[in-house]
């Protein structure tokens, strides 16, 4: 069984959140005309939750792949499924507290979250491909290209 190590998973989660937070906090403050500090609090709270969720979700996803497919190699299709399931789970956990803190309706917060989710779906996809290339799992065979 070839999987990422515990320290590698920690590095992955922390890098993912720090880079994402550095991009999204000023962008959402500007787009939604909210104070950067307030969006920073939301960003840090969301990033903390997302960091834990990243670790738990990725571990569970890899175990599911190992059980169902017998390996943890991720094709483009599996990466797309990974991103969608990850972001849906995070959205369900984050929507109510953010609506409360920003004094917004659930719909307004959903629209804010939707824009953030769309950013993170693209970011997650690109980040994970780059991470896999920069920090390959020793001994893992690359997936075959279709066609």
The DSSP code sequence of the chain is -----HHHHHHHHHHHHHHHHHHHHHHHHHHTT--HHHHHHHHHHHHHHHHHHHHHHHHHHHHHHHHHHSS----HHHHHHHHHHHHHHHHHHHHHHHHHHHT--HHHHHHHHHHHHHHHHHHHHHHHHHHHHHSPPTTPPPPPPP-
Q: pLDDT digit string (tens) for 40-93?
A: 899 889 888 988 998 999 999 999 999 999 988 889 999 999 999 998 898 889
Structure tokens at 120: 């993170």
Q: pLDDT digit string (tens) for 108-130?
A: 999 988 888 889 889 999 999 99
């Amino acid at each position: 069984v070839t999987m990422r190590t515990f320290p590698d998973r920690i590095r992955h989660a922390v890098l993912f959140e720090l880079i994402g937070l550095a991009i999204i906090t000023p962008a959402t403050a500007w787009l939604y005309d909210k104070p950067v500090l307030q969006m920073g609090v939301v960003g840090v709270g969301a990033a903390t939750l997302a960091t834990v969720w990243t670790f738990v979700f990725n571990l569970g996803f890899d175990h599911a792949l190992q059980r169902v497919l017998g390996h943890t190699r991720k094709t483009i299709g599996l990466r797309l499924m990974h991103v969608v399931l990850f972001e849906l789970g995070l959205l369900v956990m984050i929507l109510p507290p953010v609506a409360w803190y920003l004094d917004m309706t659930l719909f307004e917060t959903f629209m804010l979250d939707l824009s953030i989710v769309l950013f993170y779906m693209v970011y997650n996809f690109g980040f994970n491909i780059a991470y896999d290339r920069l920090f390959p799992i020793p001994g893992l065979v690359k997936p075959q290209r279709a066609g």
